[in-house]
Each structure stands twice: as C-alpha cells, then as structure tokens.
Structure 1
C-alpha cells in the first residue's frame, strides 16, 4: 500500500509539472500573437494586416490567432488595454497625489505622459488611424481617451487642492489645457512632424503648460 501511495504522489507531481508547462506555453503563445499583431499593425496598418500575416509572424495557425487573441479586433483591444493600464500610469498618479509643489506636479505629469508615449505611441497611432473607419476601434478609442483624460483630472484637482492654479482657472479649463499640451496631438506634432526628440517635446510642452496654468 505504501508503494502504491508513493506512485500516486509521483504521478501527481508529474501531472502538475505538465500542467505548468502547458500554461507557460499558452502564455508564451498568446504573447507571441500580441507582439506579432503590434508589429504588423504598426508597420502595415490595421486594415492591411491579415490574420494569416499575424499567424505567420507568431508561427502559429490562423485558427490559433482567433482562439487565443480574438482575431484582429480582439488583439487591438488587448493592446489598448495594455496601453491604458501601463504601470507607469499608476505610478504617476501615486506620485502626483503626494506632491505639494505645483511645478513638481506638472513635471510629474509631463514625465508620465512622455514615458507612456515612448512605450505605447505606436499603438496610439494605430488606433487613431483605424478609429475613423471602424466602429469597434472608434469605441475602443473613446474608452481609452476617457481613461487618458481622467488622468488629467487627477492632476488638475491636485493643483487646485494646493491652490496652484492661476487665478480664474477652474478645474474644467485646467483639464482642457492639460489635454491640449499632453494629449494625443501635441506630442505627435512635436515628434513626428517637427522631428523633435520626446525629451525635447516634453520640456517644451511642460514650459507651455506651466505658463498657461500656474
């Protein structure tokens, strides 16, 4: 009986290891599909990229792209979720919440938006280019933009809490000004059209926001 019990325990260990390997393989496969979609959406555009292209890039079957990634729209939604929940966003919120100097609050906001742009600017471009021509992408962009703007509400409220806003600037105006300088368009204009580095764009936009708000 003891020998039998030992055999069952060993079989259980092997089964657990096998399950772990399957889970690890599934996670690696999913990430390979997401990475392939991101690369191809960025280089070829959402509409020109086929599921078969993503499958070939990720070295999986097209059926796996649908089953694991939800097809092109599912993958685009996943990329947007990863962008809007990037760890730097939460860390920027936490940093802003404890600062007591208005200029430091703006610097933290500018730095956070620049870091997000550095990591996720390619996904932003894809979504902005796709949304005008695709209802599902448009809805996803609207949700992402709502999350994005709510971050500026946090900054504006913190500035108001410490009486850091210029006299006559209410919360709504402060959010609009922050969006103007740190939303989608300004960074793309500075970097893509003017050829500036992200760091130069960050500093210039920070200077303009400071002059407008403080």
Structure 2
C-alpha cells in the first residue's frame, strides 16, 4: 500500500471509530483532524467534505462485509445456510448502527440512494454464485441468474427497507422468490426470519 493510501486508510479508521462512539452528527472535521494530528489542508487533500468521508467509511464497511460473505460461500454448508450467511454478513453490526443512521438524515438522501445501489451491486454476484450452486444441486431451476437475483434485491429493498409492509407482503415476496428461482414451495420460507419486522406496519 502506498504512503498516501495508507494515510487515507488511517483517517477512515479514525472517522469510523469516532462515528461509532460519538455519532456522525456529533463528530466534527476538526475533531478528526485533531485525533489524526494532521493539518486541515491534509484532510481536505483526501476528502472534500465530511459527507464524502462518511460515504468512504461506508464503502469500507461494505468491503469488509463482502469479505465475510465470501468466507461464507467458501464454507461447506447448505445453499439456504449460505444465503442466510451472505445476507447476515452484509448488514451493519449493532455497533455500526450510528453510521447507518446518518444515511437517513435529509441532507444525505442522495448518498443513501448511492449506498443502497452499491449494496445491490455487491450482493448480486455473491448470491448469484450460491443460486448457481443451488441449480447444480437441483434446488433451483432457472437461467439468467444474476438478472433474477438483482430483480429480487431491488424489490426487497423497495419493499422492506422503510418498514412500510405487512405479513402478506412478506408471504407474497417469498412466493415470488420461489417462482422466480424455480424452487419448490416452502424452499425459501427462511426469508421470513431474515426480515426486520421491528418497524413493520400492522396492516393486513
């Protein structure tokens, strides 16, 4: 790693730690600069703004999550377990929730969209690899796997990300997933346990 890349990584790690302990909104650029013991000009050489730094911190988190997901794929477990493992790996930890919450601030709407799009781009090939394994094992029967996975991720994100859904929506999504992947009914029922229902509307 080049010296400049190493310094930038150090700054991102400092910001990551401070965003977790103090919260994004309560962490100032000056505090990051003081902690890193650098000049303000050095900071702005690497980052145009605190918002750009947040975006790159989140990119760093996603890269770490992708590495964990790749380790799940390499393990000798069942296809459904791999799917669960991948999706679990790509979620922020409880400690990282303050960083995720920053995305929901009104001024970060565009960044929120970009992060969600990047997550779909990262998760699609990971899940596609596992779905392909499922096809080989006779669990699924479908072609154009990457396109099907991407479609499911987009629908899932739009349906479940904001908490505006019901139990019926979950049932329909599971049924649609099984049909889209050519799986027997009940194969993807484990999806129900993966959905965060804490903010789900009580709509039937």
TM-score (norm 2): 0.55
The answer on whether the counterparts of 1:34 and 1:79 sit within 8 Å (CA) in structure 2 is yes
Q: Which residue of 2 aligns with 1:50?
A: 28
Partners of 1:132 and 1:32 in 2: how far apart? 26
Measured on the aligned residues, the alpha-carbon RMSD in Å equals 4.1
Relative to its length, the structure with more helix (as a share) is 1
Q: Which residue of 2 aligns with 1:158?
A: 133
Give the number of equivalent residue pairs. Answer: 155
Partners of 1:128 and 1:144 in 2: how far apart? 17
Residues 95-125 of structure 1: per-residue CA shift (max 9 Å, x gap):
38xx7xxx6122233344445557x664465
Distance 1:122-1:69 versus aligned 2 partners, 3 A rule: farther
The answer on whether the counterparts of 1:84 and 1:147 sit within 8 Å (CA) in structure 2 is no
Which one of 96, 104, 126 corresponds to residue 131 of structure 1? 104
The secondary structure found in structure 2 opposite 1:163 is coil
Shift of the alpha carbon at 1:55? 0.8
Partners of 2:133 and 2:13 in 1: how far apart? 37
The secondary structure found in structure 2 opposite 1:131 is coil
TM-score (norm 1): 0.53
Which one of 64, 89, 108 corresponds to residue 69 of structure 2? 89
The answer on whether the counterparts of 2:23 and 2:99 sit within 8 Å (CA) in structure 1 is yes
Q: Which runs of 5+ in 2 are unaligned?
A: 163-185, 192-204
Q: Which residue of 1 aligns with 2:189?
A: 212
Partners of 2:105 and 2:38 in 1: how far apart? 30
The 5 A counterparts of 1:102-181 are 104-115=78-89, 117=91, 122-123=95-96, 125-133=98-106, 134-147=108-121, 149-150=123-124, 151-165=126-140, 175=152
Shift of the alpha carbon at 1:52? 0.6
Partners of 1:71 and 1:77 in 2: how far apart? 10
The answer on whether the counterparts of 1:80 and 1:123 sit within 8 Å (CA) in structure 2 is no
Partners of 2:98 and 2:131 in 1: how far apart? 26
The secondary structure found in structure 2 opposite 1:212 is coil
